[in-house]
Amino acid sequence: MRSASALSLRRWWRSAGFAWAGVRHAYRTQPNFRLEVWAGAAALGLGLGLGAPLSPILLACALVLGLELLNTALEAVVDLVSPEQHPLAKAAKDAAAGAVLVASAGALGVGLAVLGPPLMRWLAGDL
């Protein structure tokens, strides 16, 4: 007989597999998601190189990528239930895209605040 924790762990791994399938699908099919992944990787690499704190950058990247995944999911559901154009379908898609845009602007602000000062010191030759 298996323990409850073994079954719970198995269930978690199965769920994680489905989640990674969603991430892989978004990476393969969504150009904006790929761009955001690589922009985040560049920001993290720059942060590492400059010795900047990585936690705000990681959080900003996670927020943008998470919202992009939700946007992708919402677009798929809206397309499924409303294959023809409808004003409410457009409003839902636009709002989800707007959430990604707002998060991206916030991530840019975080990047400037966290990476700007050490980058300016490095460019001035002080690092």
For the chain, which domains are there? 31-123 (1.10.287.3610)
Q: Phi/psi at 124 (nearest 5 deg)? A: -80, -5
Task: Work out the average pLDDT over 82-99.
Answer: 97
> Rounded to an integer, what distance in angstroms lies between the CA atom of residue 73 and that of residue 84?
18
User: Active site includes 36?
Assistant: no
Residue 1 confidence (pLDDT)? 55
pLDDT, one tens digit per residue, over 2-46 is 677 877 989 999 999 999 999 999 999 999 999 999 999 999 999
Residue 126 confidence (pLDDT)? 79
In angstroms, the Cα distances linking 15 to 9, 10, 18, 101 are 10, 9, 5, 28
In angstroms, the Cα distances linking 119 to 44, 53, 101 are 13, 13, 25
Asked if residues 28 and 69 have their Cβ atoms less than 8 Å apart, the reply is no
Kindly state the tokens that stand for 37. Answer: 């992944």
